[in-house]
A and B are shown apart, each in its own frame.
Chain A
């Protein structure tokens, strides 16, 4: 039997304030556990973004700066570079939603990957703009009903969703790119291992590392938490297959 305690990298007495069944809490906990495991907490600067992911700094007990919407990778670039210039090797990661990373911030994200910035980006993909009430995002799937695609996402009006992890894997500066899910225990364990790999890539100064986390949004999907996880398992992974798309950490 394993007894779980609150990770050191989670603030004392903090309670997740996300909607019931939302995977953000699990994702943040996995990040915190990994920071603990790799002993990174005291050397970390996290970059939060806009949307539900902005609350990162309410839970994580690390130095954290919020970035304007979509600009987290640019902000992280500045932090990593200036610290390097003054001889400090800081661990820098972003925690962003899919709208933040792959829509409004695609330019900053993609160019950070192309430059091979030695940072890690965690992208929570819940296929909609959660905080504003469930609008169609860059990752909303074909046919997905949202408040701005009431007849379902279609090619004529909305075009196609972006497969972020696959795109980032194509960048020469990317050392690690993967997609994970959190709908069951097995996947959660796997996700934690993948986050660790991504963090290790940065610790080894290898370049840009990226983890896309398929996450549930029961509130906006108008499903129960269980139904939401079933949807990820049965439907979403058809559009967004899980796996590691690039890993050159050991090359």
Chain B
């Protein structure tokens, strides 16, 4: 295997193919269209399922149907169009169907534009559709990680029978970095106990979210949340950087975390004891670990390309253990390093002044 310099979108598509993708459904929207374009050539070449759907609603519902086969199924889209998919995601959660949704984010609300923004955090981690449910949300920061998390998304979605979203910044989808697309390191899941493949030699199976019995519906949702707890225990993932003696902790996710990391590195050289905590799983959010860390630091600074969405999860993890501040902007050029540095310095100055 050799490294290749490819765009994030293509890397994700290639990683999905390597993981054993059998069906892809999509509809064009910038900045994720390369995924569908690339697969429109690669999937038919391998006699795999590919539909350029009539809409995002069509695409996600095709995925919903395909997921009943237990095969690896993927859909990709972006922000405002992911909104159109929320209904089917809610169904897929209740139906407990595994599918992978790649959301290469653009700015909103509404149509917004293709500028950088991390404005879909809330939609991704709090469900987005109707009812009491969660989808797993993975957040890569580099392209090698995007490839790994793409393959992990298939694994998690199949292991726990849950839709899994890869929440990707537009920049990560469009930029290129050297990656090595390898076979998935995650084990294959045996789906034979629940898939729909014709009731031959066994009782027929039904997959549905409709449940007229309130008792059963209650039980069903409670069991879903038991599953979410299990996912939290087993699959929470994060990165810690320069945390050993940190007094100030920066929290950030996705591409923003890369920039924040470089700022942390610079500030360390100025003698500031600062570190970075980056969740790789946004749901389940690594609350427990962040809670532990918050007991060791004085101040937590959350940096996001939005008006403070992950901030709520940070606050819920930290409670009153440390002061939490926020640096962010909703859309446009990424926060510049100098901007972040001076904002961090101001926060430090102010908080020490108040002590």
Which residues in A have some Cβ–Cβ distance to B below 8 Å? 11, 41-45, 47-48, 54, 57, 60-68, 71, 74-79, 81-86, 88, 90-91, 107-108, 111, 115
Q: In angstroms, how far is the closest chain A Cβ from the Cβ of B94?
A: 10
CA distance A192 to B65 in the complex (A): 27
A64 and B65: CB pair below 8 A?
no
Contact partners of B204 in chain A: CB under 8 A = 11, 60-64
Beta-carbon contact of B208 and A65 below 8 Å: yes
A86 to B95, CA, bound (A): 22
B198–A42 CB distance below 8 A: yes
A82 touches B69 (CB 8 A): yes
Q: Please name the residue on chain A nearest to B198 by beta carbon.
A: A43
C-alpha gap A64/B71 in the complex (Å): 17
| A64 neighbours in B (Cβ, 8 Å) | 196, 204-208
> Which residues of chain B come closer than 8 Å to A44, judged between CB atoms?
198-199
In the complex, what distance in Å separates the CA atom of A79 from the CA atom of B197?
A: 9
Beyond A64-B196, A83-B197, whether A78 also contacts B48 by CB under 8 A is no
| Count of chain A to chain B residue pairs whose CB atoms are closer than 8 Å in the complex | 146
Residue ID in chain A nearest B94 by CB atoms: A66
Q: Which residues of A contact B55 (CB under 8 A)?
A: 107
Q: Mark B298-315, 1 if CB is under 8 A from A, else 0.
A: 000000000000000000
Q: Which residues of B189-240 have CB atoms within 8 Å of chain A's CB atoms?
A: 196-201, 204-210
1/0 contact string of B80-96 vs chain A (CB within 8 Å): 00000001100100010
Cα–Cα distance between A88 and B197 once the two chains are bound (Å): 9
Query: Which of A41, A61, A65, A111 has a CB less than 8 Å from the CB of B196?
Result: A65
Q: Which of B36-77 contact A (CB under 8 A)?
A: 47-49, 51, 53-55, 57-59, 61-69, 71, 73
Q: Which residue of A lies closest to B64 (CB)?
A: A75
B63 neighbours in A (Cβ, 8 Å): 78
Tell whether, in the assembled complex, residue A79 and residue B61 are in contact, meaning their CB atoms are under 8 Å apart: no
Enumerate chain B interface residues (CB-CB to A < 8 A).
22-23, 25, 47-49, 51, 53-55, 57-59, 61-69, 71, 73, 87-88, 91, 95, 196-201, 204-210
B residues near A84, Cβ cutoff 8 Å = 49
A10, B59: Cα distance in complex, Å: 31
Inter-chain CA distance A52–B53, complex, in Å, is: 27
Q: Which 9 A-B pairs have the closest CB atoms?
A: A78-B65, A75-B65, A78-B66, A78-B62, A66-B208, A74-B61, A82-B66, A81-B49, A42-B200
- Establish whether residues B210 and A54, one from each chain, have CB atoms under 8 Å apart when the complex forms: yes
Q: Which residues of A contact B53 (CB under 8 A)?
A: 74, 111
B198 touching A71, Cβ below 8 Å: no
Kindly list chain A residues whose C-beta atoms are within 8 Å of the C-beta of B206. 57, 63-66
Pick from B51, B61, B69, B197: contact of A67, CB below 8 A.
B61
Q: Please determine whether A79 and B208 come into contact, CB atoms closer than 8 angstroms.
A: no
B196/A45 in contact, CB under 8 A? yes
Residues in A with CB closer than 8 Å to B198 are 41-45, 62-63, 90-91
CB proximity of A68 to chain B, nearest CB, Å: 5
Closest to A48 in B: B208
In angstroms, how far is the closest chain B Cβ from the Cβ of A71? 4
Report the Cα distance A115→B25, complex, angstroms. 14
Please determine whether B209 and A79 come into contact, CB atoms closer than 8 angstroms.
Answer: no
* Nearest opposing residue in chain B for A71, CB measure: B61
